[in-house]
Structure formats: structure tokens, C-alpha cells
Amino acid sequence: MYKAVGFSLALMAAGLLAGCMPSPMQSTIGAISAVQAPVHQPAFRPAPPVFIQNPWKPDVQPRKWRHIVLHHTATSAGSVESIHEAHIGRGWDGIGYHFLIGNGKGMDDGEIQSTFRWREQMHGAHAKSSNNEYNEYGIGICLVGNFQESDPSDAQLASVKRLVSVLKHEYQLTESQVVAHRDVKATACPGKNFPIGEISRSSVFAVLAGQSGTYVTEQPAAFQIVTVERSNLR
């Protein structure tokens, strides 16, 4: 039996030396060579640039804004003109806010109007404090309605989120710099039904290439595309 085994081993050795049987090393090298064969790679093409457009960009040198302060009128109706007259009656130099968003009574529902304070980049008259920080460096946005008693309309919420998103991006403001009037003064404004947290988290996600004024604003569970018609801007 030992002679038979020895004879078989001798035959295998002779076969290897004669090249009749492939060696294990030859098989492994062949497999590695097949795996490492060069693969054609497509040419690199950079993505097109994305531009964030601000339809409310003022024509004058911008103020060094540090806050956005949100309000309600605490009335059922209102417009820039009616609030302007009311504030002049208080001895002010006109409407105290930089932006007003309508509710369909006095202005179109969700309509955004800038005031002379924004166009001229003037201080506000909407959030008096001990050092006047929020009037001097706070953008005042007011929504028509009484949100202590009811909710903002869907159109108002879409508009204020869009406006806050663009202003935050433009002036590099964070969520913590978007506040309610009640956060800086002893008042209920803008009302218990005003979703300040949801609005302060709004942010510009992207702008569709070639679609001026089209924004994607970040929502808690999804992304909503909102298009701003320039004919509706003031």
C-alpha cells in the first residue's frame, strides 16, 4: 500500500514538472488578473450651480439685521394703508413693520407687502425693548388676524415660511434669531395659535435652475415647492 501511494505522488510530481497539470499559483494569479482588469470610467461632470433668489432684496444698502420678529395685528382685517394711518395716529412716522401678510380682508390671502421701512432699510417700530435691539436690528413681519382666537390661514403660513426662509438665508440668521413678539416683550402677540417653532425652522433648501423665484422650503416631514409670482410682489 505504501508503495502505491508513493508511486501516485511520484506521478503527480512528474506531471507538474512536465507542465501537464496547472499549479495552484497559476490559477490564483489568473483569477486576480481577471478581477483587476481596468474598467472604463465616465468623464466627471460638475453639477450646475444653484442660485438662491431673493425677490425682496432692497435697492439700498442693507441694514445689519440680527433678528426676525413675528407679530399679528390682533384684528380681523387690515392692510398696509390702514395700519400705516393707525400708527401715524400714535405719533409714529408710519407703519412700524417691515412686511405685512394679508388674510383676505383688506389684502389678498397670503399676499406679502413690504413697507417703506424695508424699502429704505429703516429701523422698525414694532418691538420696543430696554436697549431697542429688536427695533434697530429686527425685521418686523406681521400677519393680519387675531391668532389668540383663530389660526393663520394656509396661504398666510405658506407665505410667512417662504419669507422667513429667504430672509434667514440672505442675512445668515439662525432659527434662534427668529422670535415671537412675546419673546422680547410682555405681550400675547402673535397669539397662542401662532406656530412660531414651525416657522422659525423654515429654510431655503434649493432653487430650481432657471426658475426665478421658485423655492423649496423645508417642512417637518417633506419638502414643499412654492413659486412666487413677481406680479404679486410689492
* Cα atoms in the Cβ-side hemisphere of radius 13 Å centred on 162: 27
Examine the pLDDT at 17 and tell me if it is beyond 70.
Answer: no
Please report which confidence band the pLDDT of residue 194 belongs to, taking 50, 70 and 90 as the band edges: very high
What distance in Å separates the CA atoms of residue 108 and residue 211, rounded to the nearest whole number? 24
Residues β-bridged to residue 141: 70, 99
Q: Sort 144 into a burial class: Cβ within 10 Å, 0-12 / 13-18 / 19+.
A: buried
Q: What is the pLDDT averaged over residues 47-54?
A: 58
User: Which region among 12-16, 35-39, 77-81 has the lowest average model confidence (pLDDT)?
Assistant: 12-16
Dump the DSSP string for 156-187.
Answer: HHHHHHHHHHHHHHHHT--GGGEEEGGGTSSS
> What is the β-pairing status of strands 138-143 and 99-101?
parallel
User: Which region among 71-80, 103-112, 130-139, 203-212 has the lowest average model confidence (pLDDT)?
Assistant: 203-212
Q: What is the pLDDT of residues 197-229, one digit of tens each?
A: 999 998 875 333 344 444 444 433 333 334 333
Dump the DSSP string for 29-90.
Answer: HHHHHHHT-----PPP-PPPP-----TT--SSPPP---EEEEEE-SSS---HHHHHHHHHTT
Q: Which pLDDT score is estimated for 21? A: 47
Neighbours of 225 (CB within 10 A): 12
Dihedral pair phi/psi, residue 101, rounded to 5°: -120, 120
Q: What is the pLDDT of residues 155-175, one digit of tens each?
A: 999 999 999 999 999 999 999
Domains defined along the chain, listed by start: 67-202 (3.40.80.10)
User: Which region among 46-60, 77-91, 159-173 has the lowest average model confidence (pLDDT)?
Assistant: 46-60
Q: Sort 47 into a burial class: Cβ within 10 Å, 0-12 / 13-18 / 19+.
A: exposed
